[in-house]
Amino acid sequence: MEKYQFRFKPTGEKSFNKLSKSVQDQIIKKLEYFLKADDPLEFAEHLTDREVGEYRFRIGKYRIITEVTGKIIFILLAGHRRDIYKR
């Protein structure tokens, strides 16, 4: 069985790199935890006001907006919950 993978889109990588190193480490650790599950999307919520296939992962006070294509979860945006939906 093929496993899911996380990959960054350019906007996702840019927003992720703006976060502090400790927050980046926290997010990576949690994403790795999600990948250990048979279906990492069970930890995500589908975004109804966005494009088809977009999901949000909650990691503490931070949110990761993703797009799913097959078994690849593309990170579109990463940021604090107060800022992430303003984009």
Cβ atoms < 10 Å from Cβ of 8: 15
Rounded to 5°, the CA angle 67-73-84 comes to 50
pTM: 0.88
Cβ atoms < 10 Å from Cβ of 62: 20
Rounded to 5°, the CA angle 36-74-49 comes to 110
pLDDT tens-digit series, residues 28-67:
999 999 999 989 999 999 987 766 679 999 999 999 999 9
> What domains can be seen in the chain, in order of their start residue?
5-84 (3.30.2310.20)
Look at residue 56 in the predicted model and tell me its pLDDT: 94
